[in-house]
Amino acid sequence: MIFDREVETLPRESLRELQLDRLRALVAVAKERVPLYGERLADVEPGDLSSIDDLRHLPFTRKDDLRAAYPFGMLAVPRSQLVRVHASSGTTGKLTVVGYTRADVELFARVNARCLAMAGAERGMMLHNAYGYGLFTGGLGIHYGGERLGMTVIPVSGGMTERQLMLIEDFRPEMITCTPSYALTLAQAFAARGVAPNEISLRYAVLGAEPWTDAMRDEIDAGLGVASSNIFGLSEVIGPGVSCECVEERAGSHVNEDHFLAEVVDPETGEPLPEGEDGVLVFTTLTKEALPLVRYWTGDISSLSSAPCACGRTLLRMARIKGRADDMLIIRGVNVYPTQVEAALLQLPELTPNYRILVARSGTLDEAEVEVEVSEVFLREAGTESLSGDLDHVRELRERAERRLQGSIGCSLAVSLRAPGTMPRSEGGKLQRVVDRRALR
């Protein structure tokens, strides 16, 4: 089902015209109402923008700009006009604060209704929403989207896994929304209870808020008996609802481009990159009232494609996020993203998606070790509980995993095999895949 059929299937030329009109209006409002933009856009007149490509001449906005204006200095409306505030925690210090007017909350609901529909939702279906409710945008963003679409939304929030299973078994929802790492936790908990995937009522899952791979998707789909779609978003731009995969192709997420203008730029030079090339995602909010952002530098690495899609939408698709520019490890000169490690490990059926990467520094070089749980089947077939490196089959698997990583990433990472159930699991939120010990030195 297409929620906003007309605009989601607009010919791309008409979409660009709509975007240009909205961009001009955005520049006018931002200059007038936000001191930072008053300065930075002083030389830009809305009428100077003759095509959407002129966007490339506008300055970027960065997370530090929002931090410097903490908490409400970037608002384009008086604080009293906000009906809601969300915030996201970064790795350091203060929160990034985002405000919503009544119209922004309606927009937030609408783009999430679109995303849920892209992923297979229909009016009347039941949605088990296990994203966290609170300052995090996931819970409330998806919640309003589900209601807007006409679903029955169960606001479970994250955590308390046993209760989640009970509610899913008793209420029989068709769709679940949560982080991919938590979907895996739930799948494993069902398996531990002896519930088979075809006994679980769920048919669709809408997963995001952290990087994941197609290999991880296969595990989740098999474990819960669902077709899962990737949903993307970030608090600064609105929260979830920026883009989502359609269930027809599940190959890249359609960006709600009439509201969020997407670019991919070179991380070093900031120059826009052609379709298909990896770079930093940059978003311009075209219709947001409270916190309009011009060319917001997300730090996320992806690429764009305007190839036609089986679902009929003309909205651009963005590739899975490889990682954040800040998550990129440089190991002996090679750039490595955690998702590449995940994809390589999951090519071996003896390994599971329960892994983490420990990074340390020796001298000026990053050293990384990958800890990964082996499967129950591997242990059972080996006939021993031990993962001692002295055992031939254990050493063989470890070396095979190291060769696989070397082959697909191009640098050597040490692998440590762990017993099933010993690695940290998602308790409901985002899972930290990289443990960085470099800062400790």
Amino acid at 274: P
Min dist. Cβ of residue 227 to ligand DLL (A): 16
d(Cα 180, Cα 158) in Å, to the nearest integer? 12
| CA nearest neighbour of 252 among 308, 209, 336 | 308
- Cα–Cα distance for residue pair 440/408, rounded to 1 Å: 30
Restricting to residues 372-411, name those near ligand DLL by CB under 6 A: none
234 binds ligand DLL (CB under 6 A): yes
**d(C-alpha 60, C-alpha 217), whole Å:** 34
300 lines the binding site for ligand DLL (CB under 6 A): yes
Q: Output the CA–CA distances (angstroms, integers) from residue 269 to 52, 60, 264, in the order listed.
A: 20, 12, 12
Nearer to ligand DLL, 240 or 428 (CB): 240
Q: How far is the CB of 387 from ligand DLL (least distance, A)?
A: 31
Whole-number minimum distance, CB 422 to ligand DLL, in Å?
26
Candidates 204, 232, 283, 296; binder of ligand DLL (CB under 6 A) is 232
Q: What is the C-alpha to C-alpha distance for residues 81 and 70, in angstroms, rounded to an integer?
A: 17
| One-letter amino acid for residue 206 of the chain | V
Complex with ligand DLL: residue 31 or 433, whichever CB lies closer: 433
What residue type is 438 in one-letter code?
R
Q: By CB under 6 A, what part of segment 92-121 binds ligand DLL?
A: none
Task: Please name the helix (run of DSSP H) or strand (run of DSSP E) that holds residue 135, with its range, or none.
Answer: none
How big is the site for ligand DLL, counted in residues (CB under 6 A)?
20
Confirm or reject binding of residue 353 to ligand DLL (CB under 6 A): no
Return the DSSP state at 191.
Answer: H
Interface of this chain with ligand DLL, residues 307 to 326, rule: CB under 6 A: 321, 324
Q: How far apart are CB 382 and ligand DLL at their closest, in Å? A: 35
Minimum distance between the CB of residue 238 and ligand DLL, rounded to whole angstroms?
9
Stretch that binds ligand DLL, among 13-21, 192-200, 225-233, 260-268 (CB under 6 A): 225-233
Q: Is 239 in the site for ligand DLL (CB under 6 A)?
A: yes
The C-alpha atoms of residue 58 and residue 46 are separated, in whole angstroms, by 11
By the rule CB under 6 A, 131 interacts with ligand DLL = yes
CB of 316 to ligand DLL, least distance (A): 16
The DSSP string of 280-324 is EEEEEESS-SSS--SSEEEEEEE-EE----TT---S-EEPPP-EE
Question: How many C-beta atoms surround the C-beta of residue 348 within 10 A?
Answer: 16
- In sequence order, what E strands does 303-440 have? 304-305, 317-318, 323-324, 329-331, 334-336, 351-362, 365-374, 414-418, 434-436
From the list 235, 314, 340, 426, which residue makes contact with ligand DLL (rule: CB under 6 A)? Answer: 235
Figure out which of the listed residues 4, 29, 81, 88 binds ligand DLL, where binding follows CB under 6 A: 88
Determine, following the binding rule CB under 6 A, whether residue 37 of this chain makes contact with ligand DLL: no
The closest residue (CB) to ligand DLL is: 208
Residues 6+ apart with CB under 8 A from 60: 270, 282, 295, 296, 297
Residues from 183 through 212 that contact ligand DLL (CB under 6 A) = 208-211
- Is residue 182 a contact point for ligand DLL (CB under 6 A)? no
Our CB check for ligand DLL shows the closer of 294 and 417 to be 294
Residue ranges that bind ligand DLL, judged by CB under 6 A: 88, 131, 137-138, 208-211, 230-235, 239-240, 298, 300, 321, 324
